[in-house]
Amino acid sequence: MPANLTLPLFGDATQSSREQLGQHAWLLRGFALAQADELLTAIARIRAQSPFRQMRTPGGFTMSVALSNCGALGWTSDASGYRYTPRDPLTGQAWPPMPLPLLSLAAQAAEAAGFPGFIPDACLLNRYPPGSRLSLHQDRNERDFSAPIVSVSLGMGAVFLFGGHARNDKAARIPLLHGDVAVWGGEDRLRYHGILPLKDQPHPATGSLRYNLTFRKAG
């Protein structure tokens, strides 16, 4: 999808459009722009209850991306492995409830991509500073793979890697801008995906940070 690489990694999506990434995978350009300020306000409230933290992988590495969660379940990682928990290990309290604007946006984006009735029970909040990255991986910790993944980009631009069903399959490089939403499910649900190291190109809404909201049906 080389045409996508001509898009700038700064600013907002200029118009709403749909780009097909796979048989059941779509990029919804600018889908979250109208709600972006509301989403950022919700992120600030969530992090006040469950602060961002850099988790450690089972292999002992510290992730460059800082994470938090909201919803009935939250994704965590430590020496014991990757898993979902109903409580924040950092605070001992339940994860913050998923705010209605987040839940509504996730359902609307899923429906726009051909997945009606999506009700996520987990939302991962990822915070990317310059230089941070997310290596190619599959989302396999959920119990039901029939539900899609909905991923919302806010702030600094990033390059999304969207590969195949094997780690060494060639991955498309797709710029993501403030307000873009990617949705993948069906036969594309277990595709490898990741984020290239972020360049420091500050965005007016977030400065030198990128936020990503990833909605899943985990339980």
The tens digit of pLDDT for each residue in 166-203 reads: 999 999 999 999 999 999 999 999 999 999 999 999 99
Question: Tell me, what's the pLDDT at 15?
Answer: 58
Q: What is the DSSP string of the chain?
A: -GGGGGS-SSSB-SS-EEEEEETTEEEEETTTGGGHHHHHHHHHHHHHHS--B-PBPTTSPBPSSEEEEEES-EEEEETTEEEEESB-TTTSSBPPPPPHHHHHHHHHHHHHTT-TT---SEEEEEEE-TT--EEEE----SS-TTSPEEEEEEES-EEEEE--SSTTS--EEEEE-BT-EEEE-GGGTT--EEEPPPP---BTTTBS-EEEEEEE---
Cβ-based burial of 38 (10 A; exposed 0-12, middle 13-18, buried ≥19): middle
**Tokens describing residue 122:** 């987990």
pLDDT in tens, 109-120: 999 999 999 999
Question: Tell me, what's the pLDDT at 1?
Answer: 35
Q: Residues 87-97: what's their mean pLDDT?
A: 97
pLDDT in tens, 6-56: 345 555 655 578 999 999 999 999 999 999 999 999 999 999 999 999 999
Q: How much of the chain exceeds pLDDT 70, in percent?
A: 93
Question: Tell me, what's the pLDDT at 2?
Answer: 34
pTM for this entry: 0.93
The DSSP bridge partners found for residue 25 are 22, 184
Average pLDDT score, the chain: 93
Complete domains list, the chain, with CATH: 2-216 (2.60.120.590)
pLDDT in tens, 58-79: 988 999 999 999 999 999 999 9
Q: How confident is the model at residue 145 (pLDDT cuts 50, 70, 90)?
A: very high
Question: Tell me, what's the pLDDT at 12?
Answer: 63
Question: Tell me, what's the pLDDT at 3?
Answer: 35
Distances (CA, A) of 50 to 43, 53, 94, 95, 132: 10, 9, 9, 7, 21
Is 50 in contact with 68 (CB distance < 8 Å)?
yes
* pLDDT exceeds 80 at position 4: no
Q: How confident is the model at residue 144 (pLDDT cuts 50, 70, 90)?
A: confident
